[in-house]
Amino acid sequence: MFEEIGTTAEGDLQINVGPQHPATHGVLHLVLTLNGETIKKVEPHLGYIHRSIEKMCESLTYRQFSYVTSRMDYLSSHINNNACALIVEKGLQVDVPERAKVIRVIIDELTRIASHELWWGAMAMDLGAFTPFFHAFRERETINEIMEETCGARLTMNYIVPGGLMMDIHPNFQKKVKSFIQLFRSKFDEYNELVTGNIIFQNRMKGVGVLSPEDAISYGCTGPAARGSGVKCDIRKLYPYEIYDKVQFDEVLETGCDSFARYMVRLKEMLESIKIIEQLIDNIPEGEFQAKTKAVLKLPKGEFYQRVETARGELGVYIVSEGGTTPYRIKYRSPGFSNLSALDHMARGSKLGDLIAMMGTLDLVIPDIDR
């Protein structure tokens, strides 16, 4: 395939987008077949950042393997760790204290907001607007400071562990989260002023990258990519884990099916996450932050599956256990891989410049696709 780059038999132009294209957030390599400026085919070439995480997890114990998953979708690292913790707890039938569950949900939703903030800034930068990036990172920095104080790191925290949490929350946690909620609510209108209402932005997003609900389902799209097409797929609503069945929030659905709809889903999801945090932040129950577990964890023989809703969609963890201290086989179903598979379908027939808008609204995190 690489040798043929240039022109095809029909006289179409083949060009590479990536691996080091500034518009890609990782190292994704797209081979485009172009007729003039019209896209005929998009072929993603993967594997530039493959670290064989699934195989690596087979040699790590059940306490150790979850820290690796922070490196998959590094923007929703807490949610990945939560999935690993949940599946081990399911296998061992451990009851996690209520306090740990509430803190997990708060931390997960903070992660989701931080992830969507970064997506918002980076996507606007892909489309040529530089200012939004700094606005997004200003609010994201506040979340990072909260994480740094409570979890001890800013990106790969390894805070949610099987059995509960690594350590208790910092005494300042509640105060800081409350001041973040206030800050976020006061700054949120700026996002709409700067980007959403902008006529250039709207013209570049509306009617671009149309993905019908049927196609979204058949390509296995999840998360905001599918909810922008009106497909109900929020795992927090469909298969509630932790305490998501006890909090009030709406699943954000848009029916525009285009890039603008996916954009609006993510913006509104940030407000829904704020709503969840507001309900929980004053009601963190007292008690232990970790259940009592054995020093060496051994999952019983069998198969286990757990899914969670990350910032990008459905993450599934599948473990086959032989009864030992390490898993026999681990499989991760990452949301980014399935969402990327719909890109070819969306891009066919549209212009080259629109491809960047489509990739932006799919919110691709390449380490999550490659693993």
Partner 1 sequence: MFITNYIKNVFGAVKSLAVGMKRTGYYFTHHKEIITEQYPDNRDTLVLADRFKGEVVMPHNENNEHRCTGCTACELACPNGTIKVVTKFDITPEGKKKKAVDKLVYHLELCTMCNLCVVACPSDAIKMAPTFEHSVFDRSQLTKVLNQPGSKIMDGVE
Among 33, 150, 222, 259, binds partner 1 (CB under 8 A): 150
Candidates 146-154, 175-183, 257-265, 338-346 — which segment interacts with partner 1 by CB under 8 A?
146-154
Options 37, 95, 141, 214; binder of partner 1; rule CB under 8 A = 141
Residue 326 binding partner 1, by CB under 8 A:
no
Residue closer to partner 1 (CB basis): 145 or 278:
145
CB of 188 to partner 1, least distance (A): 13
Tell me if 188 contacts partner 1 by CB under 8 A. no
- Which of 28, 32, 68, 252 lies at the binding interface for partner 1 (CB under 8 A)? 68
Task: Determine the size of the site formed for partner 1 (CB under 8 A).
Answer: 31
Q: What's the closest the beta carbon of residue 222 comes to partner 1, in angstroms?
A: 28
CB of 228 to partner 1, least distance (A): 22
* 40, 45, 90, 170: which one binds partner 1 (CB under 8 A): 170
Q: Toward partner 1, which CB reaches closer, 119 or 191?
A: 191
- Contact region for partner 1 (CB under 8 A) — 145-153, 252-260, 335-343, 356-364? 145-153
Please provide residue 221's backbone torsions phi and psi, each rounded to the nearest 5 degrees: -70, 145
Residue choice 96, 151, 205, 366 for contact with partner 1 (CB under 8 A)? 151
Taking CB under 8 A as the binding criterion, the range among 88-96, 165-173, 215-223, 313-321 that sits at the site for partner 1 is: 165-173
Map the footprint of partner 1 across residues 191-220, applying CB under 8 A: 193-195, 197-200, 202
Least CB distance to partner 1 at residue 150 (A): 7
Residue 133 interacts with partner 1 (CB under 8 A): yes or no: no
Three-state helix/strand/coil letters over the chain: CCCCCCECCCCCEEEEECCCCCCCCCCCEEEEEEECCEEEEEEEECCCCCCCHHHHHCCCCCCCCHHHHCCCCHHHHHHHHHHHHHHHHHHHCCCCCHHHHHHHHHHHHHHHHHHHHHHHHHHHHHCCCCHHHHHHHHHHHHHHHHHHHHHCCCCCCCCEECCEECCCCCCCHHHHHHHHHHHHHHHHHHHHHHHHCCHHHHHHHCCCCCCCHHHHHHCCCCCHHHHCCCCCCCHHHHCCCCCCCCCCCCCCCCCCCCHHHHHHHHHHHHHHHHHHHHHHHCCCCCCCCECCCCCCCCCCCEEEEEEEECCCCEEEEEEEECCCCCCCEEEEECHHHHHHHCHHHHHCCCEHHHHHHHHHHHCCCHHHHHC
In terms of Cα–Cα distance, which of 342, 340, 348, 345 is closest to 369? 340
Q: Does 60 bind partner 1 (CB under 8 A)?
A: yes
Taking the complex as a whole, how short is the minimal distance between the CB of residue 153 and partner 1, in angstroms?
A: 5
Binding site for partner 1 (CB under 8 A): 60, 63-65, 67-68, 131, 138, 141, 145, 148-153, 156, 158, 161, 166-167, 170, 190, 193-195, 197-200, 202
